[in-house]
Amino acid sequence: MSERRQGILAAVISNVIWGFLPLYWHALRPIESSVLIFYRIVLSAVVCWFLARRKYTREELTAPLKDRRLFLKLLAAGVLITLNWSLYIWAVNADHAIETSIGYYIEPVVVCLFGVLVFHDKLNRWNAWAFAIAAAGVAVIVLYYRSLPLISLGLALSFSLYGAMKKGLNQPALLSFFYETVLLSPFALIVILWLEATGRGAFAMAVSPWQIALLALAGICTATPLILFGESANKAGLFATGLIGYLSPTITLFLSIFVFHEPFELVQFAAFAIIWVGLGFFTYGELKE
């Protein structure tokens, strides 16, 4: 399998996982979203540390610490993805899953623009048609609401900037994500200890022991799709990664309607249909490569 196809496969798998993650966060209710966010940081750092220690030597792990510019970029990437996590988890557990879908419909267009304008990703005619049609689908949503919802805008911008940062780092996905989580984990651990000591942590809010066990999987649920996304951004290019990113909000949209029973309007269905036509053009173009 070519490197580009490996990147595309990684993008597909990561987005399928992300699409179904709202089921996971809903299962952790009534644990507060703020508590979940700090646990997610710490547990992701644990998973990444375990994986990184198995794959890299001590010298390879500490190498980014010797490059001040790289260190600051990794820290910035960690802050961006943490902001994205925080808004996403809060929105899902506050019954705004459809707004997260809108945000992640907008996000791939922004990622595509970063790829073309900043990193000079090349477009064939099928990719160009796919981009234009997908952008039209997003425009339907924007024109209907007349202004972008803050949740959608925040998710789109934070994850697009994160994707562009990952592309510019040119670092192995696991090593990059290791630093993105480890650098923030000491602060998150202090907050967790304080919350648990004051009776406002996960152990006080969980309604059953299985929720605590489920919470322990937060690191794996977080690390797996993000590492795959990092691989896809490096190998497939931001344009391909951005368009495949429509899989995640589409899955979440179905969950929002049929599982969470959030209201769904006709204009949202129209935008969904237009975007999938664009994905059809993209898929055909990739098969011709």
Give the rounded distance of the alpha carbon of 146 from its chain centre. 26
The tens digit of pLDDT for each residue in 53-112 reads 888 888 888 888 788 888 888 889 889 989 998 999 999 998 889 888 888 877 767 777
pLDDT classification of 249: cutoffs 50, 70, 90? confident
d(CA 258, CA 89): 19
Domain count, the chain: 1
Name which residue leads in pLDDT, 16 or 237: 16
The tens digit of pLDDT for each residue in 147-162 reads 666 788 889 889 888 8
CB 3 within 8 A of CB 149: no
Residues 6+ apart with CB under 8 A from 64: 70, 71, 74, 171, 175, 179
* Residue 63: burial class (beta carbons within 10 Å; 0-12, 13-18, 19+): middle
Task: With a cut of 90, say whether residue 179 has pLDDT above it.
Answer: no
Query: Which residue, among 244, 266, 264, has the nearest Cα to 254 in the 3D structure?
Result: 264
Q: What is the mean pLDDT of residues 185-208?
A: 92
The tens digit of pLDDT for each residue in 4-51 reads 888 889 889 999 999 999 999 999 999 999 999 999 999 999 998 998
Structural domain of 116: 3-288
pLDDT classification of 1: cutoffs 50, 70, 90? low
Q: Can you give the pLDDT at residue 201?
A: 92
| pTM, entire model | 0.82
Q: Can you give the pLDDT at residue 149?
A: 65
Q: Can you give the pLDDT at residue 171?
A: 76
Name which residue leads in pLDDT, 239 or 29: 29
Q: What is the mean pLDDT of residues 199-227?
A: 90
Q: What is the mean pLDDT of residues 226-253?
A: 80
Which pair of tokens denotes residue 140? 């339907």
